[in-house]
Structure 1
């Protein structure tokens, strides 16, 4: 937390050997022998624009899905927000696995869910 990498150092064979970092709260730099770095981007959801539209978010700002209270099962309901017909996938979703592969799968799943929602909505208004 509050840490930023300032340098990655490697060998001639392009392998990672060392990482340098510093705290955003202090000027000192630190070095540690490290062979792997895992990047976690998107930990802060940008969901402020949803305020006032009925889509509920958790205390961290991630979109809550699967709790919309619809009657009966509908495909993709686990990805539907608290507003019927509005879906969330990927890292922005509360409880997601925060992995690219998971987001891709959810994105593919929600296409079918959207078609189902639109078909159900068209049938109920006809």
Structure 2
């Protein structure tokens, strides 16, 4: 190595493995995640996860234009750039006017940027019939 001026055996140096990289079950060749089949023996690689199997979290949205699944923080589709549709908020939830973060009723300031919660008249909360 450069620090100690010693020559290392190349077989003992561990390769950096990134998420999604895979070992071929037929020949044990290390493949990058982008490889759909083994570069050495051409055996089929692991099955890809389809979007139907991906669990969406609160606020995530599917683009009505192209069907791409976007994270809640995306203001426009990452694939086709269509704008995010208006969010369907649960009673009491509010969107931060500063950073667009979706906050719960109990939050008096935004959990992302500490912006003060808008007044209730702007927030269209329920009529406090819960009192």
TM-score when scaled to structure 2? 0.26
Query: Of Structure 1 and Structure 2, which has the larger fraction of its residues in helix?
Result: 1
Query: Of Structure 1 and Structure 2, which has the larger fraction of its residues in strand?
Result: 1
| Higher-Rg member (1/2) | 2
**Relative contact order, CA 8 A, sep 6+: which one is greater?**
1
